[in-house]
Amino acid sequence: MLELPVLELKDVSKHFGGVRAVDGVDLGVARGEILALIGPNGSGKSTIVNLICGLFPLTAGRVVLDGVDISGMPMHARVTGGVARTFQNIRLFGQLTVWQNLWVAQNSGEQRRQNFGRRWFGGSRGARGEVERTLEFFDLAHKSNELAANLAFGEQRRLEFARALSAKPALLLLDEPAAGMNAEEIDQLDNRIRKVRDDGVTVLLIEHQMELVMSIADRIAVLNFGRKIAEGTPAEVQASPLVREAYLGTPEIA
Amino acid sequence: MIDLVQNTIDGLMIGSSYGLLALGFTLIFGVMRRLNLSYGPSIMIGGYFGTVLYLQFGAGPLVVAVAVVVGAALAGLYVERLCFAPMKAGAAIASMVSSFAVWMQLEQAAILVLPRHTYAFPPLATGAPLEFGPFAVRIDHLVMLGCALGLAAAVQLLLYRTRFGLALRAIIGNPVAAHLVGVDVRTVMPLAFAGASAIGGVAGFLVLAVDQQVTPMFGMWATLKGLIAMMIGGLGSVPGAVLGGLLLGVIEVQSQWYFGPQIRDLAAYFVLFAVLALRPRGLVGSLSEASTQKA
């Protein structure tokens, strides 16, 4: 791989007291790929996402984004640096409208380019147009003025995805985006993730829904007890005896 | 009847300063979800800045006003750095208690620097009251009312019509999520805090100019009046702050007129009690009320 990876985790560890939630993980995400991170419950997947976006400090190791070490950066600076995420348990701004939820996030995407006045008080016509287009893409345009708290569950999930995308990330972290979705919704999600990738966003996907993972992931990394036990194409990972062992007794893998 | 109307006018005028105090208070509460007991003492420090400039250098009302506002904002920032920035989310009690400690500290600092109990403060307008038929209105009172309504409208516009306001409301709703969609919480919070203290500074300047004196006790007075007006109006609500302030002013003046000065504060506390018993969220729905709905 000649091109620099978008994201590199170098020997990353996170210990909570004596628990090694993440233990010496190396991981590279190449530009424009969809990398799925899978593993049994408690294997450290969500912790890794939290470490990348800066919710917790690292115990050891480094997180490198586009060649820049972001390990010590505050969360908002990482967003302006190009990392956005969704949450497994939805965290929208319930008392703001759907439109405003995106507008807040889009603000941060523009911080790099705009002066103080426009950043905090105005907003160009183009920026508003982008919010409209994002709403269309996620089939939320008709809900534009509803409070996020009043949306149905599926709509909240879409809004969470849309909000993350509004920050115009180079790298999008999706933390179990399919949780609680029916087959049709998962199908739409599949299409949207592909479309987002085709538009040039690199995706790191955490998901238990194996059909989705096997369908869209270019590569898969497998975690167990905080360590990476396998990495490769979906076919390679499915063939790995270590992975089969880690998942033994759980019905989730086909 | 004339007394009743004149008292109401006076009450509204005095109440507008309470409304201004409550406005700054409610902003801090709305954004931080923390009670800042050092709010009044920060304003008192601003008042001391102003009175030093007045007594030492003969500064005019405008310079003094700027000094009070800037002084209050700086003192507010000091309180934020000391009591609110280091406290992790959820440590509301720790923040409140440390803001009480800083209150005592600021009060003692003021007494150390200017040991006399009372210092003169420049008046704002010394002209005769304006007459409207049988009714009279002081000019400085009118300025007070104008400032209260104007600043409340400005804050409301800032909150609901600008991206800065949207960022603030996002923080109010979900601080972690706001940080994670790129809102620079560590910049926005102190800015909002200093701005709220500056609004308190405007109130402080106007009240001190009417009283023409400043004492270290002004801090406690400002915290109390702001707190009561805010609680009556509704925590975290801009219109509520103004309404609560005006109502408190009218209650105080009317009860003083009809029942005497001993009853004045008693009546105010009684109304506070009644409002909290009947409508625990205050008269007007608040920012924080909306944000308790979970997304």
One of 3.40.50.720, 3.30.110.30, 3.40.50.300, 1.20.1050.10 is the CATH number of A1-82+169-254, namely: 3.40.50.300
Q: Taking CB atoms and an 8 Å limit, are B181 and A80 in contact across chains?
A: no
Interface of A with B in 73-102 (CB under 8 A): 74-77, 79-80, 84-85, 87, 90-96, 100
How many angstroms away from the CA of A165 is the closest CA of chain B? Answer: 10
Task: Enumerate the residues of chain B whose CB falls inside 8 A of the CB of residue A147.
Answer: 293
B45 domain residue, yes or no? yes
Q: In Å, what is the CA distance from B4 to each residue of B63, B133, B257, B264?
A: 37, 15, 9, 15
Task: Find, in chain B, the residue whose alpha carbon is nearest to that of A82.
Answer: B182
Indicate the pTM of the whole model: 0.82
- At A37 the pLDDT is 94
The DSSP H or E segment spanning A55 is: none
- At A237 the pLDDT is 87
How many angstroms away from the CA of B287 is the closest CA of chain A? Answer: 9
Q: Taking CB atoms and an 8 Å limit, are A156 and B181 in contact across chains?
A: no
What DSSP state is assigned to residue A59? S
Low-confidence ranges of chain B (pLDDT < 70): 87-90, 285-295
B293 domain residue, yes or no? no
What DSSP state is assigned to residue B83? I
d(CA A32, CA A6): 9
> Is any Cβ of chain A less than 8 angstroms from the Cβ of B178?
yes
Tokens encoding B198 = 């500056």
Task: Enumerate the residues of chain A whose CB falls inside 8 A of the CB of residue B291.
Answer: 94-95
d(CA B11, CA B17): 10
Angle at B214 between CA B208 and CA B217, to 5 degrees: 110
CATH number, domain containing residue B198:
1.10.3470
pLDDT per position as a tens digit, A193-248: 999 999 999 999 999 888 899 999 999 999 998 999 989 999 888 888 888 877 75
Q: Taking CB atoms and an 8 Å limit, are B181 and A163 in contact across chains?
A: yes
B113 domain residue, yes or no? yes
Strand A219-224 versus strand A34-38 pairing type: parallel
Beta carbons within 8 Å of A196's beta carbon, 6+ residues apart: A165, A172, A203
Q: How many CB atoms lie within 10 A of CB B245?
A: 31
The size of chain B, in residues, is: 295
SS (H, E, C) A194-232: HHHHHCCCEEEEECCCHHHHHHHCCEEEEEECCEEEEEE
Interface of B with A in 107-136 (CB under 8 A): none
Residue B249 · residue B15 · CB < 8 Å: yes
Q: Taking CB atoms and an 8 Å limit, are B293 and A119 in contact across chains?
A: no
Task: Find, in chain B, the residue whose alpha carbon is nearest to that of A152.
Answer: B295
Residue B72 · residue B42 · CB < 8 Å: yes
- At B295 the pLDDT is 32
Number of domains chain B contains: 1
> What is the extent of the structural domain holding B24?
2-124+136-285
Q: How many CB atoms lie within 10 A of CB B257?
A: 16
- At A118 the pLDDT is 59
Task: Enumerate the residues of chain A whose CB falls inside 8 A of the CB of residue B184.
Answer: 76-77, 111
Please, what is the end-to-end C-alpha distance for chain A in angstroms?
30
B292 domain residue, yes or no? no
Identify the band that residue A254 occupies on the pLDDT scale cut at 50, 70 and 90.
Answer: very low
pLDDT per position as a tens digit, A122-160: 666 677 888 999 999 999 999 999 999 999 999 999 999
> Is any Cβ of chain A less than 8 angstroms from the Cβ of B173?
yes
d(CA A92, CA B294): 9
B294 domain residue, yes or no? no
- Report phi then psi at A77, rounded to 5: -70, -30
Interface of A with B in 91-150 (CB under 8 A): 91-96, 100, 103-105, 107-109, 111, 119-123, 147-149
Interface of A with B in 183-222 (CB under 8 A): none
Please, what is the end-to-end C-alpha distance for chain B in angstroms?
52
For CA atoms A122, A124, A127, A131, the dihedral sign is positive
Residue boundaries of the structural domains of chain A: 1-82+169-254, 93-166
pLDDT per position as a tens digit, A37-60: 998 888 899 999 999 999 889 999
Task: Find, in chain A, the residue whose alpha carbon is nearest to that of B172.
Answer: A93
Q: Report CA dihedral (A246, A247, A248, A252) to the nearest 10 degrees.
A: 180
> Is any Cβ of chain A less than 8 angstroms from the Cβ of B81?
no
Task: Enumerate the residues of chain B whose CB falls inside 8 A of the CB of residue A104.
Answer: 163, 166-167, 170, 178, 181, 183
ipTM for this model = 0.80
Tokens encoding A115 = 């002066």
Percentage of residues in chain A having pLDDT higher than 90: 56
- At B294 the pLDDT is 35
Task: Enumerate the residues of chain A whose CB falls inside 8 A of the CB of residue B179.
Answer: 74-76
B221 domain residue, yes or no? yes
B200 domain residue, yes or no? yes
